Structures are given as C-alpha cells and as structure tokens.
Amino acid sequence: MEVIQFFNDNVVLIYMLIFTVILGFEVISKVPTVLHTPLMSGANAISGVVIIGAILLVRTAQPDDYISLGLGFVGVVLGMINVAGGFAVTNRMLEMFKKKK
C-alpha cells in the first residue's frame, strides 16, 4: 500500500528518473577511444552539480548554527574543486586535440 502511495505521489519524479537514465545510456553510445578520458573527466565535472545542495544547505542554515554552516562551507569548497577543476582539466586535455587539426 505504501509503495502504491509513494508511486502516486512521485509519479512525475519517477518519469524523470527513468527518462534520464535512458538518456544517459543513449547520449554517449558511440565514443572513439581517444575521447574516453576527456569524456570521463567532463562527466565527472558535471557530477559536481552536487554543489547546488551544499549552496542550499548554507543558505538555509541559521546564522548561529556553526555546524551546519561549517558542513555547508566544506561542501561548497569540495563541490567547487570538483566543478572548477573538472571542467578546467577537461578543457586542457581537449585543447591539445584542437591544435593540430
């Protein structure tokens, strides 16, 4: 019963999950080996989207709740290293392919 209730309450979310999974499978169906490393690195940078949660955590924390603020701060720093470093490193790799064309 609880399962049915959960399904009914979250049906849009479930659609989204399923479609995104299929999209993720299909979107990189054919990749030349050359691009495996940059692609992995780029996807890794995208997974840094978890930073959004850390930003929301800091925003909703009480100004005197230093534990939440501290955790959120650490989260934003970690997420930002992932995002900024990830995209920069991918760009650096791909820049090398561009030159000799």
Residues 21-80 that bind other proteins (CB under 8 A): 21-25, 27-63, 67-69, 71-80
How would DSSP label each residue in 31-69? --GGGHHHHHHHHHHHHGGGHHHHHHHHHHS-TT-HHHH
We find the least distance from the C-beta atom of residue 7 to other proteins, in angstroms, to be 11
The answer to whether 8 contacts other proteins (rule: CB under 8 A) is no
Q: Tokens for 10, please give them.
A: 């979250």
We find the least distance from the C-beta atom of residue 26 to other proteins, in angstroms, to be 9
Residue 53 CB partners (closer than 8 Å, separation 6+) = 75
Which position among 7, 11, 15, 20 is part of the footprint of other proteins (CB under 8 A)?
20
